[in-house]
């Protein structure tokens, strides 16, 4: 059953799937929303290096800015998948080269571990600050992140989703997180969490696999960590994540997978993502998506998937 949120958030309703709390727009119907989506073939591009992937991601932002005037809104990706992009943006922000574009740029994040201090070195926000640099944050129009220190995490996420959905999203940058049995997650939508096509975001219990994946990818990405921060990170109990409806409402999705060298399970996960025959039966399709949330990306009609050669070991 979906229950209305408190009166100050009349446009959002919550529903529980076991211990998972999902949030959706009032009046939305998961079956209706799922029926609007058609399975697509994932036509991936193999680039020669992580730097090349970063440049391709940057070009996507430039193209979006050139396509129309006004604000440009993006959802950025944490972890190693977008580090080359973030370094490039940070470098360009230190000059005047991108000032006009940056002044139009509104940035949102897609997931977070909680409860956790915002300045913890294992926080995506701290990693974004490290890579993008002060000049970037001073020049962009706005930067919006999930409040992982809030006393009421659920209500804080509701407020975040209202802000995110107040306007269009030009690009959503996504990765691919490995899960057991060659499944995968997008954002932090984990298998079996009950996310549906109507869900904008969720507060879900953290799983050991996601916690280890998070810590491992931060260490591999060169985070300047300390033992206290890692201990706090390991005490996180929940994940705040965007849901399928928030990801799929973006005009364009750009996926990057550059870390199969440090996360080799991504090879099998990507193979399953590419080769799965997504059912036309709504009930069966819903089970496939819950079992393997990485498949949500294949229900968007405007996707660019960028990978490195080492991801293709099993696909070919």
The pLDDT of 199-227, averaged and rounded, is 83
Between 245 and 224, the higher pLDDT residue:
245
Angle at 180 between CA 174 and CA 185, to 5 degrees: 20
Helix, strand, or coil here: 108?
A: strand
- Whether 154 and 236 have beta carbons less than 8 Å apart is answered as no
- Torsions phi, psi for 304 (to 5 deg): -120, 120
Q: Which residues of 114-135 are buried (b: 16+ CB within 10 A; e: fewer)?
A: bbbeeebbbbbbbbbbbbbbeb
Query: In whole angstroms, what separates CA 7 from the centre of its chain?
Result: 29
Q: How confident is the model at residue 80 (pLDDT cuts 50, 70, 90)?
A: confident
* High-pLDDT (> 90) share of the chain, %: 83
Tokens 């600050």 belong to residue: 129
Taking only the tens place, the pLDDT of each residue in 50-66 is 999 999 999 999 999 99
Q: What is the pLDDT of residues 131-185, one digit of tens each?
A: 999 999 999 999 999 999 999 999 999 999 999 999 999 999 999 999 999 999 9
- Residue 307 and residue 45 in contact, taking contact as beta carbons nearer than 8 Å: yes
Q: State residue 315's pLDDT score.
A: 62
Residue 8, Cβ neighbours under 10 Å: how many? 8
Q: What is the pLDDT of residues 270-310, one digit of tens each?
A: 999 999 999 999 999 999 999 999 999 999 999 999 999 99
Mean pLDDT of 196-210: 92
Name the residue among 91, 35, 85 with its Cα closest to residue 62: 85
What is the distance between the alpha carbons of residues 90 and 135, in angstroms, rounded to a whole number? 7
Rounded to whole angstroms, what are the CA distances from 111 to 10, 26, 103, 219, 242? 23, 22, 24, 18, 6
pTM score of the predicted model: 0.92
Q: 127 pLDDT band (50/70/90 cuts)?
A: confident
pLDDT of residue 68: 87
Nearest CA to 73 out of 23, 162, 144 is that of 144
pLDDT of amino acid 8: 47
Q: What is the pLDDT of residue 137?
A: 98
Query: pLDDT tier at 10 (50, 70, 90 boundaries)?
Result: low
Tell me 266's DSSP state: H
Q: CA-CA distance, 316 to 311, in Å (whole number)?
A: 10
Confidence of residue 211 (pLDDT cuts 50, 70, 90): confident
Tokens 């294949």 identify what position?
298
Which residue is associated with the tokens 């897609």?
Answer: 110
| Domain spans in the chain, listed from the N-terminal domain onward | 2-312
pLDDT level of residue 254 (50, 70, 90 thresholds): very high
Cα torsion 63, 64, 69, 71 to 10°: value is: -140
Q: Regarding predicted confidence, which is higher, 316 or 26?
A: 26
pLDDT at 6 over 60: no
What does CATH list as the number for 2-312?
3.40.50.1360
Structure confidence at residue 216 as a pLDDT band (50, 70, 90): confident
């Amino acid at each position: 059953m979906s229950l209305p949120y408190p009166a100050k958030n009349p446009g959002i309703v919550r529903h529980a799937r076991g211990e998972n709390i999902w949030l959706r727009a009032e009046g939305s119907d998961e079956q209706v929303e799922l029926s609007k989506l058609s399975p697509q073939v994932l036509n991936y591009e193999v680039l020669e290096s992580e730097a090349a992937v970063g440049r391709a991601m940057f070009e996507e932002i430039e193209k979006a800015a050139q396509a129309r005037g006004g604000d440009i809104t993006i959802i950025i990706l944490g972890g190693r998948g977008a580090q080359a992009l973030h370094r490039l943006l940070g470098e360009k922000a230190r000059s005047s080269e991108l000032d006009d574009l940056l002044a139009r740029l509104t940035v949102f994040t897609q997931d977070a571990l909680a409860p956790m201090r915002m300045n913890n070195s294992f926080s995506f926000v701290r990693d974004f600050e490290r890579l993008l640099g002060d000049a970037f944050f001073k020049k962009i129009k706005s930067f919006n992140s999930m409040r992982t220190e809030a006393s009421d995490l659920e209500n804080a996420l509701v407020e975040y989703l209202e802000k995110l959905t107040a306007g269009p999203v030009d690009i959503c940058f996504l990765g691919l997180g490995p899960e057991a049995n060659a499944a995968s997650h997008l954002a932090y939508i984990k298998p079996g969490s009950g996310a549906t096509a109507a869900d904008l975001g969720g507060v879900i219990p953290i799983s050991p696999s996601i916690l280890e994946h998070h810590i491992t990818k931060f260490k591999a990405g060169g985070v300047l960590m300390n033992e206290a921060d890692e201990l706090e990170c390991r005490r996180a109990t929940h994940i705040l994540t965007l849901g399928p409806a928030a990801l799929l409402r973006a005009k364009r999705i750009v996926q990057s997978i550059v870390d199969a060298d440090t996360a080799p399970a991504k090879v099998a996960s990507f193979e399953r993502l590419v080769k799965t025959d997504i059912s036309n039966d709504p009930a069966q399709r819903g089970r496939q998506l819950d079992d393997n949330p990485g498949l949500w990306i294949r229900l968007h009609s405007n996707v660019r998937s960028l990978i490195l050669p080492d991801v293709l070991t099993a696909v070919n």
